[in-house]
Amino acid sequence: MVGSAQPANTYFCKQYFKKIMMYPEYLVAPMREELTKVGFEELKDAAAVTSAVEGEGTVFVVVNSVCGCAAANARPAARIASQNAKHPDKLVTVFAGMEKEAVDKARAYMLPYPPSSPAMALFKDGKLVHIIERHQIEGRPAQMIADNLINAFEQYC
If DSSP states are collapsed to H, E and C, what string results for 3-40? Answer: CCCCCCCHHHHHHHHHHCCCCCHHHHHHHHHHHHCCCC
Which of 81, 96, 103, 92 shows the shortest CA–CA distance to 55? 92
What's the chain's Rg over C-alpha atoms?
17
Helix (H) / strand (E) containing 71: none
What one-letter code names the amino acid at 111?
Answer: L
Which residues have a Cβ under 8 Å from the Cβ of 43 and sit 6 or more positions away? 49, 52, 92, 93, 94, 99, 102, 106
Hey, which residues are catalytic here? 67, 69
Which amino acid is present at 92?
V
DSSP summary character for residue 113? S
